[in-house]
């Protein structure tokens, strides 16, 4: 879905810029092809599963079944214990094209099931700078503002075993496809401390974008709301 906020039709004279913009939008829409969607599988603390459900993701709970190449495993703190007995299977699955998103894991837990060991260090995270990633990167669409922490706290920053992004608040490997995000959005309680709501929002966006980059689809009520607009007599 594209929104064009520039009025490209209300021109009294020909406008080459508006015409080029409309042409580019139409060309993009005609050439776009959806990528294959992957089923998400969740292992970890219940708060994380509820967070993803609220964001529109339908993640199947981990149930010891072998994973297929069309699935993405999302692991949050606490998930390593359930995955540890299946480390060999997970290693083979990743090598065969599986994808994994790890959120907030320390090295002790991550190394119980990952085929390649990582190292983390406990350090305070406030902000990190990094250049934008390409369109086809697993980190595409994420910028420094998305990992800016307005509630400084100690996080397990990735130092080895994957390509660090910034100070290690994000990290990734292309093959096998594994992405680490050390910010855990549902642990920012903005209802108790309202000044961290922006941090919660950006962290929530970050994990949502990373899951989408890995191929996990989500639903949104936006189109349904457009189809059922407010009545003329409705007031709020």
Q: What is the pLDDT of residue 5?
A: 79
Domain ranges of the chain: 39-213
58, 118, 127, 147: CA torsion to nearest 10: -10
ω into 176 cis (within 30 of 0): yes
Phi, psi of 155 (to 5 degrees): -125, 155
Q: What are phi and psi of 177, to 5 degrees?
A: -75, 100
User: Tokens 């981990």 sit at which residue?
Assistant: 62
- Quick check: 172 and 162 in contact, CB under 8 A? yes
pLDDT in tens, the chain (236 residues): 778 877 887 778 888 888 899 899 999 889 988 878 999 999 999 999 999 999 999 999 999 999 999 999 999 999 999 999 999 999 999 999 999 999 999 999 999 999 999 999 999 999 999 999 998 899 999 999 999 999 999 999 999 999 999 999 999 999 999 999 999 999 999 888 898 999 999 999 999 999 999 999 999 888 788 788 778 887 76
Q: Record the pTM.
A: 0.87
Q: What is the DSSP-derived secondary structure letter of residue 123?
A: E
Q: What is the pLDDT of residue 236?
A: 67
3-state secondary structure of 167: coil
- Residue written as tokens 């999302």? 74
| pLDDT for residue 135 | 85
Model pLDDT, residue 173 = 95
- Within 10 angstroms of residue 60's Cβ, the number of other Cβ atoms is 11
> What CA dihedral angle connects 186, 82, 125 and 167, to 10 degrees?
-130
Architecture of domain 39-213: 3-Layer(aba) Sandwich (3.40)
């Amino acid at each position: 879905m594209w929104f064009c906020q520039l009025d490209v039709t209300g021109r009294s004279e020909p406008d080459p810029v508006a015409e080029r913009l409309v042409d580019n939008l139409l060309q993009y829409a005609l050439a776009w092809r959806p990528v294959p969607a992957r089923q998400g599988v969740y292992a970890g603390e219940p708060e994380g599963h509820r967070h993803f459900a609220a964001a529109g993701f339908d993640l199947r709970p981990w149930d010891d079944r072998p994973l297929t190449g069309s699935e993405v495993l999302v692991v949050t703190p606490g998930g390593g214990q359930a995955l540890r007995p299946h480390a060999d299977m997970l290693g083979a699955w990743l090598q065969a094209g599986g994808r994994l998103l790890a959120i907030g894991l320390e090295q002790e837990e991550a190394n119980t099931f990952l085929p390649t060991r990582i190292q983390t260090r406990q350090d305070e995270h406030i902000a990190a700078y990094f250049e934008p990633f390409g369109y086809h990167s697993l980190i595409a669409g994420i910028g420094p503002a998305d990992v800016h922490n307005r509630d400084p706290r100690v996080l397990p920053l990735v130092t080895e075993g994957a390509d660090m992004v910034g100070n290690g608040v994000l990290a990734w490997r292309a093959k096998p496809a594994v992405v680490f995000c050390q910010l855990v959005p549902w642990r920012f309680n903005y209802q108790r401390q309202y000044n961290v709501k922006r941090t919660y929002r950006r962290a929530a966006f970050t994990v949502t974008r990373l899951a989408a980059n890995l191929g996990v689809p989500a639903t949104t009520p936006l189109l349904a709301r457009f189809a059922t607009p407010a009545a003329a007599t409705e007031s709020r």
